[in-house]
Amino acid sequence: MISALAIMALGAVVLGAALGYAAIRFKVEGDPLVEKIDAILPQTQCGQCGYPGCRPYAEAISAGEAEINLCPPGGLDGVRKLADLLGREVKPLAAEEKPKQVAIIDEQTCIGCTLCIQACPVDAIVGAAKQMHTVVESLCTGCELCVKPCPVECITMEPLTEKLDNWKWKYPVIEIRRVA
């Protein structure tokens, strides 16, 4: 009787210690759900959702504070993926969906004020005070944050053109012909 109790107590102590150790050793830092949501978001850091960057928006979604349809660069595709992940309903996008764009600085008009450089969330604009600025196209996420601060309105957003490098085979379309 006593020995049985001792064995059970010993088992409880050992298992408890193991669990306690595992809880410390394999502690999950941060919220894994936020990471998953953040991975779906397009990382343009544009703030069009009303949050200062993609990660804060991901945190807000995970906390249940924000809708999943606030991200225009992610498009309906992104909303669908978020709905899949979170088990929520797919909703139409809150704003209109735009094609992927890139910012272009009209270098003739640029006065070199550096305001756009300060506004760019991904450091995609190079230039210095009173020197011409330019956008590094491959780094630009098309967030439009540089457009507003420009005092001479020399930044325009251009949709990305199709080039050989980003050309895609199209979905095969079946031609429907009139037979009679």
Partner 1 sequence: MLQRLFSFRGGVKPETNKAPSVQVPIGLAPLPERLYVPLHQHIGGHPNPLVEAGQRVLKGELIGGAEGWVSAAVHAPTSGTVIAVEEHVAAHPSGLTTLTVVIEPDGREEWIERQVVDHRSLPPERVREFLRDAGVVGLGGAVFPSHAKLTAAKAVAMEDLVINGAECEPFMTCDDVLMRERADEIVRGIAIFRDLLGARRVLIGIEDNKPEAVAAMHEAVGRLGEDYQVVAVPTRYPAGGAKQLIRVLTGKEVPASKRSTELGVQCFNVATVYTAYRALAFGEPVLSRIVTLTGNVEQPRNWEVRLGTPMRDLVALGRPKPDTTRFLMGGPMMGFEIPDLAAPVVKATNCIIAGSPALFPPAPPEMPCIRCGACAEACPHELQPFDLYWFARARNFGKTQEYSLFDCIECGCCSYVCPSHIPLVQYFRFAKSEIWAREREKQAADAAKARFERRNSREEREQAEKAERLAKASVARTSGSRPAATDAGPPARPRGSSAEAGSGSRAESPTDAAAAPAVGDAEALRKATIVAAMERARAQRESAQPKNTDHLSAAQLREIAAIDARRAVLGSAGESPKGPDE
Which positions touch partner 1 (CB under 8 A)?
Answer: 38, 41-45, 53-54, 121-124, 139, 141, 162-164, 166-172, 174-175, 177
Closest approach of partner 1 to the CB of residue 167, in Å: 5
Q: Nearer to partner 1 by C-beta: 42 or 110?
A: 42
Sequence-ordered list of residues with C-beta below 8 angstroms from that of 1, at least 6 positions apart, any chain: none
Displacement of CA 154 from its chain's centroid (Å): 27
Closest approach of partner 1 to the CB of residue 40, in Å: 10
Determine the number of helices (DSSP H) and then strands (DSSP E) in the chain.
Answer: 5, 4
Closest approach of partner 1 to the CB of residue 39, in Å: 8
> Which three-class secondary structure state does DSSP give residue 103?
strand
Q: Nearer to partner 1 by C-beta: 55 or 88?
A: 55
Q: What is the distance between the alpha carbons of residues 150 and 117, in angstroms, rounded to a whole number?
A: 10
Q: Nearer to partner 1 by C-beta: 54 or 154?
A: 54
